[in-house]
Structure 1
Amino acid sequence: MSKSLFTKLSHLGTAPCDEQHPRAPVALPAIRTSTVRFNTIHDLYDTYKRQSSGERIVGYGRMGMDTHAAFEEIMCELEGGQRAFLAPSGLNAIAMVLLSFLSAGDHMLVADCVYGPVRQMDKTVLQRMNIESTFCSMRNADEIEAQIKPNTKVLYIESPGSLLFEMLDLPSIAAIAKKHNILLVTDNTWGSGIAYRPLELGADISVVAVTKYIGGHSDLLMGAVVAKDEKVIKTLDINQYALGFSTSADDVWLAIRGVRTIDVRMKRHAENALKVCEFFDQQPETLQIFHPAYEKDSHHALWKRDALGSNGMMSVALNFTPEQTKVFVETLELFSIGYSWGGYESLVDMVDVSFLKNHAYWNASYPSLVRLHIGLESVEDLIADLSQALDKARHHKV
C-alpha cells in the first residue's frame, strides 16, 4: 500500500511491536552509548570492513545507534535522499559539507542571501585554508556564469534566503552547476523537506538545521546533511567520521518527537503568517513585505512553482527611524526578541541594515527591517500585539 510522506513520518522511528516484541513503547528509546561491544574479533573486523565500504553500521558510539539510525531514515524521507548525516548544529552541518568537498586552492560561489555565519566561516576558516569564496546575486544565469572559475568546486545557495526570503530559481541554477560539473549545495532549513525539496529540484546536497522546524520546540540543536548520489554519500561518510561529528541521543529523540507534528505545525505557522502579511499590507509605514507565499511578494510565482508549502518566517521593511523600530520591537508583548526560529513561539529581530549592504535584493533606501517568526499563538492576539506596538512607535518623538 502506497503511503504519503506524512503517514510515514507518523510511523518511522517507532519501537518494533511484533512476535519477537509483543509489548513495546510507542517511541523508540534514546539509546545512549560511547562504547560498542563485539561478540568476537571476527564481528569487530567485519563491522569495520563493512563500515569502510560505506555501510551505515556502528563500530563506535559517536555515530549513534538505533535512535540515530531511525532519525537518519526520517531525514531521507523528508528530503528525498538516500543517506543522511547528523551534526551537533546547523552550522556544523554546513561546515561538514564545505570541509568535505573543498580543498586549498578551490573556489566556492555563494548566493549573497545565505545564512550570515557562512560569511564568518569564510573569513575565519576557509580563507585561512586558501579556499576562495565569491558572494553574488544568483537571480539570473548570466550573473552566475560570469562568476564561475576553472577551480570552482561548490555552488552554495539558500532558497528562500535568510533575511529577505528571496526565492532562487533552483532548477536553473542546478542546470548551470551540472553544465560546469560543480557540486550544488542548498540550505533547506526554511523548507525542511515539508515546504521545499531541493534534491528533487536538482541540488546535490540539502543541509537542514534540525534545530528549527523539525525540532519545533526550541529545545535542541542539530544539523543534518542529506544526499542521494553514491559518490557524494561516500565522500560525506568518510569526512563525517574523520571530523568527529557527534549528536546526543537525547537530542535525536527530541527531533523524532518533533517531526511527528511538523505537518500540522507548519500549516498553522503558514496560515498565521499570511494573516500577519495582510495586516502589515494595510499599515502606512510598511514599505515591503518579504514572504514568498504572500501573493504580493515579488518571488511569489517561483514559490508557487517550486514550493510545497510555507512557514511562519517573514520580514517587513518599515518607514521608521532606527529608534522608532526599536520602540516597536521592545513594545511587543507576545513576540520575544531572539535570533532563532522554528519553535512554537513568536519571535522578533531588529535587523541591522548594514548586514544587508551586500545583498542585491535589498533596497538600500529602506531605513529599517524587522524579521518576524509567526508562532502558533492565536493570530488575532498576535495582530493585536503588533498593532499596539506600531501605534507606540508611530507616536514616539523622533
Structure 2
Amino acid sequence: MSRDDWAEPTVLCHAGLDPAANHGIVNPPVYHASTVLFPTVEALEKAEQGLFDVCRYGRVGTPTSWAFERAVAAIEGGSHAISVPSGLAAITTALTAFTKAGDHVLITDSAYGPTRKFCDAVLTKFGVEVEYYDPLIGAGIEALLRDNTRIVYLEAPGSLTFEVQDVPAIAAAARRRGAKVMIDNTWATPLFFKPFEHGCDVSIHAGTKYMVGHSDAMLGVIVCRDVETAEPVKRTAIMLGSAAGPDDLFLGLRGLRTMGVRLARHQETALRLAQWLQGRPEVARVLYPALPDDPGHALWRRDFTGASGLFGFVLHETSKTRVAAMLDGMELFGMGFSWGGYESLILPARLAGLRTARRWTEPGTLIRVHAGLEDFDDLRGDLERGLARLGT
C-alpha cells in the first residue's frame, strides 16, 4: 500500500514522520538552530542554492520545520508548504510574493480584519491597488478582473459573517485571466475543504487555530499547488525574515495528529448549539453554513465535507449595556480574539465601517462563537443564562 492510498486519518497520524532518520524516535526532534556548519566550500555553495529541505541557516528551515510542512502539504494535497510565525504572517507573505507597484488585487469583503488592514495600510503604500468584492459575487467576478489583476483572495466562509463563496466559479474566472487564486482556509482546515481541487493556487492557514488546537502557540502556513508557486513564496518568506519558531512547529505537528477527532467534536457541538439558538426568542438569526436554511448551505454542501466549531448569531436589537451583561457573566465561554482551541469562546463582532462592497445592515449585535470540547449541556446552560441576562 503506497502513501498515496492512505485515508486522511492515516495521513494525519503519519505524515512528516521519519523515525529511521531519528534513531527510531516516533516524533521528529525539535531543532533549536541558527548557525549551520559546512565541511567544505562546495557544500556551503550548494546549500546556498537550495530553497526547500536544505539546512543553511535556522531561519531558512530545519528538520523540525520540514516535518510540519511536509505533513500539512500531504494533508491538503499541495506541492509544498512554507511555515511562518503566525496566520497573519502567512497572509502578508503570500500577498507580498505576487504583487508589485502597479498591480491590482481583488480581496473578498468578508476577509479577516487584519488582512484588510494590511492591504489598506501596506499594499496600497507600495503602489498596489486594492479592490474589495462582494463575497457572493460568484462568476460575476469576471467583470472586476483586469489585465493587471494579480491576485484574487478568498475566505470561505468569512470568519465573522460566514458567507460561503462559490470558489470554483471565482477561481475559474481568475485563472482564465492569469491571476493567482488564494484562499484563507483556516475555518474549514484541509480536512473539510480541498482548495486545490476547487481551482485555488495558494491555501493559507492560521496554524494557531485548529492545527495547534490548544491555544498555546503562534503559527502560520502557506500551502502551494505546485513548485512554481511555492518558490516565490519561500523566497519572500526568507527575505522578510519570516520563520516559525521550533517549539511552535513542534506543537503544530503534535496538534495535527488529533485534529481530525477534535474537529468532529467541534462540529457536533457547534451544530447542536446553532440549532438550539435558532429556537431562542432573543436571536434574530444564526450564521452557520451547516444549517439547512443558511443562505450558503447549498454551496457548503456541494464543496465542503464538514463544518468547524466557529459560527455566529445575531441578537435582536438591544442596548450595548444588556449585551455586555450577557457576555460579562459567561462562565465557560471566554472572551478572546482567537478560536480553534479546545476551549469555547464568545465575542461581540464590530462591523461598523468595515465592509464596503457588501454592507452589513443587521441592526442587532453580531456574536461570534467558537464551540470548544466541553460538554454540550454545560455550554448550552452557559448560553441560556447569558441570554436571560439580556432581559434583566
| Normalised TM-score (structure 1) | 0.94
- Among 203, 207, 219, the alignment partner of 2:204 is 207
For residues 1-398 of structure 1, the aligned pairs below 5 Å read: 1=1, 2-14=5-17, 16-17=19-20, 21=23, 24-49=24-49, 51=50, 54-141=51-138, 143-321=140-318, 322-355=320-353, 357-358=355-356, 360=358, 362=360, 364-394=361-391, 396=392
Q: What is the CA distance between 1:143 and its match in structure 2?
A: 4.1
Q: What is the CA distance between 1:5 and its match in structure 2?
A: 1.8
Q: Distance in 2 between matches of 1:37 and 1:386?
A: 57
Q: What is the CA distance between 1:369 and its match in structure 2?
A: 0.6
Worse-matched range after superposition: 140-149 or 198-207: 140-149
Q: Secondary structure at the match of 1:190?
A: coil
Q: Distance in 2 between matches of 1:113 and 1:302?
A: 16
Which 4+ residue blocks in structure 1 deviate beyond 4 angstroms?
none
The amino acid of 2:10's aligned partner reads: T
Q: What is the CA distance between 1:182 and its match in structure 2?
A: 0.8
Q: What is the CA distance between 1:361 and its match in structure 2?
A: 6.8
Q: What is the CA distance between 1:15 and its match in structure 2?
A: 5.0
Q: Secondary structure at the match of 2:42?
A: helix
2:311, 2:368 within 8 Å by CA — same for their partners in 1?
yes
Q: Distance in 1 between matches of 2:146 and 2:104?
A: 7
Q: Distance in 1 between matches of 2:325 and 2:34?
A: 50
Q: What is the CA distance between 1:105 and its match in structure 2?
A: 0.9
Q: Distance in 1 between matches of 2:265 and 2:121?
A: 39
Worse-matched range after superposition: 115-124 or 163-172: 115-124
Task: Give the root-mean-square deviation of aligned CA atoms.
Answer: 1.6
Q: Distance in 1 between matches of 2:357 and 2:144?
A: 16
| Normalised TM-score (structure 2) | 0.95
The amino acid of 1:29's aligned partner reads: P
2:107, 2:132 within 8 Å by CA — same for their partners in 1?
yes
Distance 1:141 1:195, change over 3 A: closer
Distance 1:184 1:76, change over 3 A: same
Q: Distance in 1 between matches of 2:53 and 2:224?
A: 14
Distance 1:358 1:123, change over 3 A: same
Q: Distance in 2 between matches of 1:353 and 1:207?
A: 23
2:139, 2:169 within 8 Å by CA — same for their partners in 1?
no
